Amino acid sequence: MARIMLDPGHDGAVDPGAIGAGGTQEAVMAMTFCEELARILASRGHEVELTRYGPDAEMESLTKRAVKANAWGADVLLSVHYNAFVSAGAHGFEVWTTSGHTHSDDLATLIYNNITAIVPEVPGRPDMSDGDPDKEENFTVITVAAMPAVLIELLFITNPTEEMLANDATFRQRQQEAIALAVDQFLGVA
């Protein structure tokens, strides 16, 4: 099949990322999500690697995460994050690519559409200004990547309701299945 690099956002050693009202750390949840997603992707026949292992694993830079994916020859890079905002009412998920239209946009659209269909209770936060739902920003981890690369903000961990969803294994599995299906569709194996 294909080589999929998963990048659990932030790290538990130095940068925990966003922290929810209930104390949930983005770095820990991103690691949990990626470990579970890795098992699903592997069960579909893909080779899967992570840019870091363990909740307290430190990765020195975003550039090194992308370089690791490049060196391994990944076919796809997915960087997984949880969003934060000062308003506890902020909610939904976002899918990000780099500026301009690339194959990453095709992957991002599949991810967006699948999450919307399979997990309809969490709204997408699209940017349709260029004809597709992904948002665009030149985040280092996806800019340095040589393969189609997408950054996913799964939920607003600062929203108490979404923080609870992030901690619900059944809910996470639905998001993971949506993403795994999108990867297979992108690669033409679904």
The pLDDT tens digits for 97-126 are 999 888 999 999 999 999 999 999 999 999
pTM beyond 0.85: yes
pLDDT of residue 58: 56
The pLDDT tens digits for 13-39 are 677 889 998 999 999 999 999 999 999
What is the domain range of residue 169?
3-187
Helices (H), ranges, 44-168: 62-72, 103-118, 140-143, 160-166
Range 132-143 average pLDDT: 94
Residue 42 has pLDDT above 60, yes or no: yes
* Contacts (Cβ under 8 Å, ≥6 apart) of 158: 18, 19, 20, 21, 83, 84, 85, 86, 88, 90
No. of H helices and E strands in the chain? 6, 6
pLDDT mean across residues, the chain: 92
Tokens representing residue 121 in the block: 């209770």
> Structurally, how many domains does the chain consist of?
1
What burial letters (b/e) apply to 85-99, b meaning 16+ CB within 10 Å?
eeeeeebbbbbbbbe
What's the angle, vertex CA 68, arms to CA 63 and CA 70, rounded to 5?
Answer: 95
CATH code, 124: 3.40.630.40
